[in-house]
Amino acid sequence: MVNELKAAYLDVTPEIAKAIENEQPVVALESTIISHGMPYPKNVKTAREVEAMIRENGAVPATIAILNGRLKVGLSDAELEYFGKSGLNVAKASRRDIPFIVSGGKEGATTVAATMIIAAMAGIRIFATGGVGGVHRGGELSMDVSADLDELSRTNVAVVCAGMKSILDIGRSLEYLETVGVPVVGYQTDTVPAFYARSSGFSVDYRIDTPIAVAEALLSKYELGIDGSILITNPVPEKYALDSNKIENTIDEALAEMDSRGITGKETTPFLLARIAEQTGGESLETNIKLVLNNAKVAARIAVEYSNLASASKRG
């Protein structure tokens, strides 16, 4: 089935295809963070640094996107540059969007959900990102819930992140994940990180302190046939963390402004992130970069251990 999908829709670079075939460690990366998360040229520079971080820690990076209707697993330097320069002109692609972007021969920057889907098609088990989506503030009334949460419950790709984005309702997001059976792991932490801040105040389901212990849990899950992800939350390094009270105040002010201006739906996240960047004098962008690099490092180390365990398990 995977080979049929590759022939019909997937373009996997030779390096990544060989690594997957040989059961070597591979880490998936999303492309929304390139086109929608940062300005050019910092976005492209960061993407290359993240790929380099994964290589330094023993794994092969696989940046995922949709280009000319093809599902791309691994981007060339020219393709990274294209997505970085195109920015918001590239569609933000989640689960619902993939068929239409593919059939239309268009471009799409993949969200967490879409990246998980394409990574799973290619046979990649580990994915590093910045933060995952969740229940938006006021979501009990608006029903604004990210598709990322359902994807975590159904797709067999573990996600390493710095928790949910601070602009979300983290408590309700965690309740949702509990309902759909997604375990939230704290990597060397007892509390769920809040993206820019090291702690949201909410407890994780399980604290795990080493890459091999995470890999063991992941292998057990999949060998038992329990579908879905493990969400591995990894706090931003302390020296780059922002003050949680300052972030909360900025978000509250931005939410009030959004309400007065009638900003809703998919426009809310870019608006809130822009306001945080303004209020922190650009410091939030630097924090974002540092936490993504940190997540890439941890994901690569987990991928190495998972690859070793999976190979040993197959040998019996």
CA distance 31 to 52: 16
Domain ranges of the chain: 2-315
SS (H, E, C) the chain: CHHHHHHHCEEECHHHHHHHHCCCCEEEECCHHHHCCCCCCHHHHHHHHHHHHHHHCCCEEEEEEEECCEEEECCCHHHHHHHHHHHHHCEEECHHHHHHHHHCCCCEEECHHHHHHHHHHHCCCEEECCCECCEECCHHHHCCECHHHHHHHHCCCEEEECEECCCECHHHHHHHHHHCCCCEEEECCCECCECCECCCCCECCEEECCHHHHHHHHHHHHHCCCCCCCEEECCCCHHHCCCHHHHHHHHHHHHHHHHHHCCCHHHHHHHHHHHHHHHCCCHHHHHHHHHHHHHHHHHHHHHHHHHHHHHHHHHC
Q: Provide the pLDDT for residue 3.
A: 63
CA distance 105 to 68: 5
Is residue 202 within 8 A of residue 170, CB to CB? The reply is yes
Token pair 């692609």 in the structure block, residue: 93
Is residue 132 within 8 A of residue 161, CB to CB? The reply is yes
Nearest Cα to Cα of residue 50 among 28, 20, 81, 79: 28
Is residue 161 within 8 A of residue 233, CB to CB? The reply is yes
**Cα distance from N-terminal residue to C-terminal residue, the chain:** 25
Residue-by-residue pLDDT tens, the chain, 316 positions: 456 656 689 999 999 999 999 999 999 999 999 998 889 999 999 999 999 999 999 999 999 999 999 999 999 999 999 999 999 999 999 999 999 999 999 999 999 999 999 999 999 999 999 999 999 887 777 788 899 999 999 999 999 999 998 888 999 999 999 999 999 999 999 999 999 999 999 999 999 999 999 999 999 999 999 999 999 999 999 999 988 888 888 878 887 888 888 877 667 777 777 888 787 878 888 999 999 999 999 999 999 999 999 988 877 6
The distance from CA 289 to its chain's CA centroid, rounded to whole angstroms, is 13
Residues 6+ apart with CB under 8 A from 147: 94, 95, 96, 111, 113, 133
Q: Provide the pLDDT for residue 1.
A: 45
Is residue 248 within 8 A of residue 195, CB to CB? The reply is no
β-sheet bridge partners, residue 203: 191
Q: Provide the pLDDT for residue 268.
A: 74
Q: Provide the pLDDT for residue 6.
A: 61
Query: What count of residues does the chain have?
Result: 316
CATH class, 2-315 region: alpha beta
Q: Provide the pLDDT for residue 316.
A: 66
Q: Provide the pLDDT for residue 289.
A: 95
**Catalytic (active-site) positions:** 30, 165
CA distance 15 to 60: 8
Is residue 35 within 8 A of residue 109, CB to CB? The reply is yes
